[in-house]
Amino acid sequence: MSYTLHLLYLCMNKILLLALAALCSVAACNRDKSNDSSSRSLSFSTVEPGSLINRGDSVSLQLSLPHGVSFDSVVYLLNDKPYITVKDSADVWLKTDSLGMGSQLITANVFRDGQSESASTNIVVVAAKMPEQYSFSVVNTFPHDAKAYTQGLEYHDGFLYESTGQRGKSTLRKVELKTGKVVQKIDLPAKYFGEGMTFVGDKIIQLTWEEGVGLVYDRNSFEKVGEFPYQASKEGWGLCFDGERLIKSDGTNRLYFLNKDTYREEGFIEVYNSKGPVDKLNELEYVDGKIYANVYYSDVIVVIDPHSGQVEAEINLIGLLPQKDVTEDTNVLNGIAYDRQGKRLYVTGKNWDKLFEIKLLGR
């Protein structure tokens, strides 16, 4: 063999070896990818992420497992808490009648041969039926300070207590119901934009909007005796008290529960009707076991189940303030107060010159 042919033979062998090595590498890579794909093929086959589920319906949970793969057990979690453990591939039924509104995270941890894999999905629980509809009749009409940008309203011992907003104009005041006369008032520092307020024992709790603090006053003297920082809920909108917990809105569809003594957040609910989330929840009032909430830029008050977050009813107050009383300064409906002993419901709005006692009428 000539020297030239010998060199060519060596080169060909080298090329073949390199090609073989490359093929082996590709095969190994494909095998790894196949293993990864097998691992990633674990998924839920019966619940699409984000599926809307009516509260009370049961949901079938079915896992899609790689072909031929066996397992020792499957642990299902609901919102990161154990729900059920099974040892076969039969459908698992998730009951939603005890769940709150909103997104619910579902996770399946599959255990086999000392190893575990997981898959997750979620459902969105919505109200099972349309809210009941109410209109109104006006029982009494009372004067109201048209310069009061009403943010919070309470009835106590025959008087109205009101929190007003706007920076440099925010106040806390005590008002005669029949005359609208302000009999006691303090001005908030100009840096604060006053928001919702309520009573807890001998204290008044008042929210600020974007300043991240709530203010605590002596109920009788209006002397400030403390303050507290917000936590996950960064803004203050509406506030009420159910006798055990403070309930706070922040302009979203969430209502936060605060400890009445420490003012620390201890949980929340998400508010939904049959169509989806109800946002812009504003001033709040606790009425006979339900939460009444103004919806910002709306003439509707929603009635909320405090346990589930479901909107059970809507009160349509369109036309409450006569058109002849609307001025360029008149703002939106906001302010709900309830006389628990007399079972009387009062409503007003920002910069309205009237406050109304109303009776609800079913449709």
Question: pLDDT grade, residue 326 (50/70/90)?
Answer: confident
The average pLDDT across 283-296 equals 97
CATH number, domain with residue 115: 2.60.40.10
Tally the domains of the chain: 2
Distance, CA of 69 to CA of 65 (rounded, Å): 7
Report the range of poorest mean pLDDT among 50-54, 66-70, 179-183, 214-218: 66-70
Question: pLDDT grade, residue 220 (50/70/90)?
Answer: very high
Q: What is the pTM of this model?
A: 0.82
The average pLDDT across 272-277 equals 92
pLDDT the model gives residue 280: 96
- Read off the pLDDT of residues 146-165 as tens digits, 9 standing for 90 and up: 999 999 999 999 999 999 99
Do 53 and 200 lie in a common domain?
Answer: no
Question: pLDDT grade, residue 145 (50/70/90)?
Answer: very high
Do 92 and 144 lie in a common domain?
Answer: no
pLDDT the model gives residue 329: 84
CATH number, domain with residue 252: 2.130.10.10
**Cα-based distances in Å from 30 to 20, 35, 78, 113, 237:** 15, 8, 35, 24, 57
- 11 domain-assigned: no
Do 193 and 324 lie in a common domain?
Answer: yes
> 58-61 and 213-218 as β-strands: parallel, antiparallel, unpaired?
unpaired
The mean pLDDT of the chain is: 87
Q: Which domain holds residue 103?
A: 43-126
Helix (H) or strand (E) holding 38: helix 3-40
Do 258 and 320 lie in a common domain?
Answer: yes
Distance, CA of 156 to CA of 337 (rounded, Å): 9
| pLDDT higher than threshold 70 for residue 39 | no
Report CA torsion sign: 311, 156, 357, 336: negative
Instruction: Looking at 135-205, list the stretches that DSSP marks H as alpha helix, in order from N- to C-terminal side.
Output: none
Do 185 and 287 lie in a common domain?
Answer: yes
Report the range of poorest mean pLDDT among 79-93, 169-183, 275-289, 337-351: 79-93
Distance, CA of 264 to CA of 205 (rounded, Å): 13
Distance, CA of 208 to CA of 228 (rounded, Å): 11
Do 291 and 183 lie in a common domain?
Answer: yes
SS3 (DSSP) at 22: helix
Please give the residue that has the higher pLDDT: either 324 or 336: 336
Domain final residue, candidates 102, 126, 150:
126
Do 322 and 273 lie in a common domain?
Answer: yes
Do 169 and 270 lie in a common domain?
Answer: yes
Do 161 and 287 lie in a common domain?
Answer: yes
**Cα-based distances in Å from 340 to 288, 289, 315:** 8, 11, 19
The phi and psi torsions of 266 (rounded to 5 degrees) equal -125, 15
- 335 domain-assigned: yes
| pLDDT higher than threshold 80 for residue 16 | no
Do 267 and 291 lie in a common domain?
Answer: yes
Distance, CA of 243 to CA of 208 (rounded, Å): 22
| pLDDT higher than threshold 80 for residue 298 | yes
